[in-house]
Structure formats: structure tokens, C-alpha cells
Amino acid sequence: MSLGDFLSPGVLIEVGSRLGRMAAIGAIAWLACHFFGILVDRFFTPESGAKKFYLEEKRARTLSALLKTILRYTVYFIATVMLLQEFKIDTTSMIAGAGIIGLAVGVGAQSLVKDFITGFFIILEDQYAVGDYIVSGEMSGTVEEMGFRVTKLRDANGVLHILPNSSISRISNFTRGYMQAVINIPVAYEADLGEVFTLLEAVGREVSAMPEVLEGPKVVGVVDLRPGEVIVRMVAKTVPLEQTKVEAAVRHKVKLLFDKEQIPAPVPAPFCGPAKRIRQEEQNDSPL
């Protein structure tokens, strides 16, 4: 074919029409992704006063991100097939071939399949969600992103850890339900325990106003007798990951109140090691 044939009106119209259809397919794919994203957000995000299906916020964010990803890749796949058809490529045989190749890859990539299966059950059982603080083996951090294959954790130092889901065999979730603050307060043997308990109850009433406190703090009582000191324990239910803040607040207020009421501080018992005991025994055995 000559150059004139390529530049003939019929060919130019056909090429222009095909490019127009390809551009339309791309634009429709982009609009479909955008539309599905808005639809997913509205489905999982409650509106004030609206009665609709609603999940807990963290789980909703996790599921919405996964659903967006699935829908996006589905739209990409359909758009790619339609673009190939514009070039007169037989997509039926390609899809069949891709299925055979996918089966072979699935047999050879068992760890990848295991990642997907484990990720599916993690999401189905709601073991953790985006925003939860978890510990898995030697790894710990806040779940920043999770999918069917990997989970991404951001630790306290800002390092991002990417864990294959099949490697997550044991999970400790620190952000479900409540946490417990435990405060051990040393008191001298000379102190009046009745007065100490009264002061600690006053501290508990004051600290209970903190938004991080769900219940308590309350005085458990004497939990240990040590040389030179009595250990009194207070406990409180707190918002997840806020127990350290509550414990610090209780200790601070106890210190100020004990100083104000002149509660005697415990005195460390003198060290009595083997050498000192031997000298004492020699002095006791001495005729003088």
C-alpha cells in the first residue's frame, strides 16, 4: 500500500474513529473508577440521621479500601479487553490462555496463594483493621494498610514494615475493647493505711474525669509487703493505648497529695548481704 492509501479519507476516518473510541474507553474507565470510589465511600460512611448499613470506623475504612482496589482492577481489566478489541485482537483466546497460565502460576506460587487465603480470613474475622496497634512476632506497630496479600505496619520509629499475610501466625491487638492501667504505690509501714486509702480514693475521683478513663481508678488494696514498704495497687480501665498517660497522671497526683498530707515516704531497707551477716554472727559469738 502506498502513502496515499494511508492518507485516504476512508483510512483517516477509520483511524480517527478508532482513536476516538479508545479515548472514550479511557475516559469512561476513569469516570467509572471515580464513581465507584464515591459509591463505596457513601456506602461505608454513615450520614447524620440516615439509617443505613454501618460498620465500625476502622473496619469500614479497611473494607472500603479493599473494595475500591477490587473495583479499580476490574475496570482496568474490562477497559484493557475493550482496547485490545479495537486492534482486532482475539481476546477470547487470550483470556483462556491467561486462565491456563494463571492455574500453572497458582500451583507454583503456593506461598502467594497462602497469603491471599490468610488475608481473606483476617479480613473476614476482623482480626485487625487499619489504625489498630498490633504485635505479631517481633514486629509491632500501627496498621497503615492491609490487603489480601500483605499488611503494612508503621512502628514507633516511623519504619514501615511490610508483612506477607501468611507469615502472621499470632496477633496481639492493643486497640480492641479497653486497656487496664495498673499503678503500684509504695507506702511506708508507719503510714496510716486508712488515711492512705481515703487519699487514693480522692485521687481516683479526680482522675476519673480524664477523657482517657473508662472506669475507675479504684483502690484494690495492699498487694505486696516488701522490706521497708507496703505496696498499694490502683487499677483503671482506659481507652486503648492511653493507659500510660493515666498511670502517669495518677502517680503525679498521688505524689502531690501525699506531700501535702505529709504521708511518710518508704525508707529502703538496709542491705544485708552475706559479708554483713558473717560479721554480725562473729560479733554475736565473740565473748566480749
What are 153-212's pLDDT values in tens digits? 998 888 999 998 888 878 888 887 788 899 999 999 999 999 999 999 999 999 999 999
The full set of domains in the chain, from first to last, is 7-108 (1.10.287.1260), 125-173 (2.30.30.60), 179-260 (3.30.70.100)
Let me know: does 85 contact 25? Beta carbons within 8 Å.
no
The pairing of strands 150-154 and 139-146 is antiparallel
Go through the chain and tell me how many residues it has.
Answer: 288
More confident residue, 37 or 253: 253
More confident residue, 96 or 38: 38
